[in-house]
Chains A and B, each alone.
Chain A
Amino acid sequence: MTVAQENLEIVPRGADDAAKFEGVQTPFRRFLSDFCESKLAVLGFVVIVAITLVAIFAPVLAPTDPYDLATVSVLDGRLGPGEAMMSGVTAHLGTDGAGRDMVSAMIYGLRISLGVGIGSGVIAMLIGISVGLFSAYAGGRIDSVLMRVVDIQLSFPAILVALILLVTLGKGVDKTIIALVFVQWAYYARTIRGTALVERRREYIESAVCLGLSERRIIFRHLLPNCIAPMIVVGTMQVAHAISLEATLSFLGLGMPQTEPSLGRLISNGFEYIMSGKYWISVYPGIALLVTIVSINLVGDRLRDVLNPRLQK
């Protein structure tokens, strides 16, 4: 009993110190302050937020509805930046070949590009995480078979696989997402498997087994949260990759249909006029695409630096 009382005297001081740290040094706050050290990454993040808001509120922000064939007139086609359309609305960035206001078309195009990129990224991540975690946890033959499938998947060029899929499936948002998920899931699966294999060997997993917790609980409550940091990094990079891949596919005439142009489709629409001095149809969507992807990559790079313990000073 006396020793127990001594303990009470000794330990509370440590408890006080810990309590002081509480609120100041949670892992999330440390992560946040590390992230904010890079001005460029913060700028990228702000741009991403702005672009996302624009995409979400597209119907409110766009001066005209580029999908409404009743208001789109071919007579407005290829107006230069700043000219007025027949409806009286000024086309600040000009109009495309079909007479759509470029500002509106780009806002809606951004919506599709981001939606397809993020949507396919999230689905691919869910599939990849499930496959990768299962593979790592099951181990043995199941692991080898699944990882060989991933190897085969990754040995084909992504663009080729997506092209073949889209040629078979046809055009449309859903089909594009399917194609993008198909070429992306393997990256997630391989990444999380690698992390999960390391984490699985940690003692807290062993002690969770010792507590008699169910396997499902161990995988999802204990293993998964500890593997999430690299997933955030790969996820960010892959969304940027998906957006550019979708733009490429649309540029090549697959992916999004002419009636619902994404940024890539807009660029390809303007491509035929670019030599005749009507640069705006291709260039402005191109800039929008560039800014989007660069911002996402800036954030992704910073996340990788902050979340990778090996790169920390």
Chain B
Amino acid sequence: MTSASAPTLEVRDLRTYFFTKGGVARAVDGVGFSVGRGKVLGLVGESGSGKTVTGFSILGLVDEPGRVVGGEILYHGENLVTASPDRMRALRGANIAMIFQDPMMTLNPVLRIDTQMIEAVQAHGRVSDDEARQRARDALGQVGIPSPDERLRSYPHQFSGGMRQRVAIAIALLNKPDLIVADEPTTALDVTIQGQILFEVQKLCEETGTALIWITHDLSVVAGLADEICVMYAGRVVEQGSVDAVLDRPMHPYTHGLIGSVPSRNRRGRPLSQIPGMTPSLLSLPEGCAFSARCPRVGEACGSVPDISVPEPGRELRCHYPLQETAS
């Protein structure tokens, strides 16, 4: 984390709880991170770890019965948690954009692409139809869609899945946002298409200085794309730091387990290591460290929630018995 320039987004101790009939689900419980200009932050975790809710909280899209109950989301110093709905609406789409997981569902099936793109431009400022169309065309070109003029007149069902996700990304880029929250945008796509889109996104971030939060469960995507990584477990960030450091020398047993469960060529024939058990229900988290029930290194201290420690500069950890504690 460079302190030279102020980060685009800084999340401090964010808490988003869901008040359900069965009890309070602490989907996000004290999450903190920051993303700088042109940087990519990978938010990694299993299903139900709170990564998507974190993304939704940033955009102010948490639905009932959920609520952001604490913490700050500072966007260029402005706290989004306390921002008015009108202010949030002005920011959404213009300064902060979101890309969703399923490209089949994010485009309105009954409207043509140009209609959807032009209205997205015109929702934020008076822009003539021609100029808006021109910007839509440019955005389609930017994400590598050939003959954008023709494609603008098409309906979503005339696109393939990869093309649709490109359109969705183009729509996110329309108003040149400086922060994009991408919620598993390539999970539903082929590996080849995924590669192309990752390349485009990476290039765009470098060129335009857009900060990107990439939510995913796929470590290999994060390894290739992100600068920083946040590993989430049961609503908390358990480990964060630069991608190289975290993936090469994981300190939290959970991160270690995650990396171990990615199949790799070197270990062919040997059984994959796996993390036993499954993500605990957010309504009945174990006392203390949420990972303790599945952790191979569990010890006495794990009955209490570990505090954030800084084992080395630029790195944060929540574990009583980290790996390589004294090594290196």
Give residues in A with beta carbon < 8 Å to B.
3-4, 7-8, 11-12, 14-15, 18-19, 21-22, 26-27, 140, 202-204, 206-214, 217, 221-222, 225-226
Contact = CB atoms under 8 A, between A and B. Distances in A.
B233 interface: no
A15 B108 contact: no
B253 to A, nearest CB: 35
B137 interface: no
Given A8-B146, A206-B106, A212-B91, 5 more contacts: A4-B200, A14-B160, A212-B92, A212-B93, A213-B120
A3 B110 CA distance: 33
Contacts of A22: 154, 158
Contact of B123 (A3, A202, A203, A214): A214
Contacts of B64: 140
B146 A222 contact: no
B105 A203 contact: yes
Interface of B: 59, 61, 64, 89-94, 97-98, 100-102, 105-111, 119-120, 123-124, 144-147, 150-151, 154-155, 157-160, 163, 168, 171, 196, 199-200
Contact of A3 (B98, B168, B199): B199
B158 A18 contact: yes
A217 B163 CA distance: 26
Contact of B92 (A15, A27, A211, A222): A211
Contacts of B109: 204, 226
A212 B90 contact: yes
18 contacts: A7-B144, A12-B146, A12-B147, A18-B159, A21-B158, A22-B154, A203-B105, A204-B107, A206-B106, A207-B168, A208-B108, A210-B92, A211-B123, A212-B90, A212-B123, A214-B123, A217-B123, A221-B111
Nearest to A207: B106
Nearest to A11: B146
A8 B150 contact: no
A217 B89 CA distance: 13
A284 to B, nearest CB: 44
A310 to B, nearest CB: 17
